[in-house]
């Protein structure tokens, strides 16, 4: 005769199944939690990838601004316009000249500090999302929701397909992060 530690494996599986609550006894989010969180991993990695791209783009922009620190940016803008035989009074060349004036008159180190801070936040968020950290999901949801009012006002002033897509994309990221955070509440702790 076998002792209690040598139970029939089929009997053990049956007892284990009976210990779990029945499907109709579970809340809908408890049923979906494990599958939703694991299935949404691909979307989370995609968001992390784009956050990383934004961080590296901010670093590239900061380095580009830094390279213009001791140059006559207005003269460079006019040289570029002349090289491509553009009319300096046209709309887009005027935007370039205005941007050159802004770079020439702004405090370059303040702009650089803001760009580095932004890049750091984006890269930390990307790392956290890639590593599936809850704090990164909170950061993504909060930082994304901070942009929504600005994007809505920008869309109202300048209604374009690109601005609408940016707003919809950012809204989708915020909703996705909130959904993941809510579904994590019902995850069992190991």
User: Mean pLDDT, consecutive 10-residue segments, the chain of 190 residues?
Assistant: 53 50 47 57 91 94 84 87 88 88 81 91 96 93 92 90 91 92 71
| pTM of full prediction above 0.85 | no
Q: Rounded to 5 degrees, what angle do the CA atoms 140, 41, 163 make?
A: 45
pLDDT for the residue numbered 109: 82
Residue 46's nearest CA partner among 177, 145, 182 is 177
Helix ranges, the chain (H): 9-19, 28-39, 41-67, 73-83, 91-105, 108-130, 134-157, 161-185
pLDDT for the residue numbered 105: 79
Query: Are 94 and 174 in a shared domain?
Result: no
Asked, for residue 179, whether it belongs to a domain, the answer is yes
Asked, for residue 27, whether it belongs to a domain, the answer is no
* List of residues 6+ apart from 118 with CB closer than 8 A: 55, 58
* List of residues 6+ apart from 141 with CB closer than 8 A: 174, 177, 178, 181
Query: Are 96 and 149 in a shared domain?
Result: no
Measured in residues, the chain has a length of 190
pLDDT for the residue numbered 130: 94
Identify whether the C-beta of residue 140 lies closer than 8 Å to the C-beta of residue 176: no
Query: Are 168 and 97 in a shared domain?
Result: no
Query: Are 88 and 139 in a shared domain?
Result: no
pLDDT for the residue numbered 23: 45
Last residue of a domain, one of 86, 110, 131: 131
Query: Are 183 and 168 in a shared domain?
Result: yes
Number of structural domains the chain divides into: 2
Distance CA 136, CA 69 (A): 34
Last residue of a domain, one of 106, 131, 156: 131
Asked, for residue 104, whether it belongs to a domain, the answer is yes
The structure tokens listed for 22 are 């029945």
Asked, for residue 15, whether it belongs to a domain, the answer is no
The structure tokens listed for 36 are 């939703």
Query: Are 150 and 116 in a shared domain?
Result: no
Query: Are 68 and 58 in a shared domain?
Result: yes
Query: Are 116 and 137 in a shared domain?
Result: no
Query: Are 113 and 141 in a shared domain?
Result: no
Distance CA 141, CA 71 (A): 40
Q: Is 21 left (phi over 0), alpha (psi -120 to 50) or beta?
A: beta
Query: Are 121 and 81 in a shared domain?
Result: yes
Domain of residue 97, residue span: 42-131
The separation between CA 136 and the C-alpha centre of its own chain, rounded to angstroms, equals 10
Query: Are 145 and 121 in a shared domain?
Result: no
């Amino acid at each position: 005769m076998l002792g209690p530690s040598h139970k029939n494996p089929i009997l053990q599986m049956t007892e284990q199944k009976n210990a779990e609550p029945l499907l109709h006894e579970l809340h809908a989010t408890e049923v979906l939690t494990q599958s939703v969180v694991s299935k949404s991993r691909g979307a989370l990695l995609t968001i992390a990838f784009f956050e990383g791209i934004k961080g590296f783009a901010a670093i590239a922009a900061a380095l580009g601004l830094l390279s213009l620190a001791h140059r006559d940016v207005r003269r460079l803008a006019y040289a570029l316009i002349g090289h491509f035989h553009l009319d300096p009074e046209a709309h887009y060349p005027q935007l370039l000249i205005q941007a050159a004036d802004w770079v020439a008159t702004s405090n370059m180190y303040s702009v650089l500090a803001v760009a580095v801070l932004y890049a750091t936040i984006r890269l930390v968020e990307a790392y956290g999302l890639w590593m599936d950290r809850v704090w990164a999901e909170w950061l993504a949801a909060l930082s994304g929701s901070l942009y929504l009012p600005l994007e809505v006002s920008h869309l109202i002033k300048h209604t374009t397909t690109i601005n609408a897509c940016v707003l919809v994309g950012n809204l989708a990221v915020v909703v996705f992060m909130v959904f993941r955070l809510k579904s994590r509440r019902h995850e069992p702790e190991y």
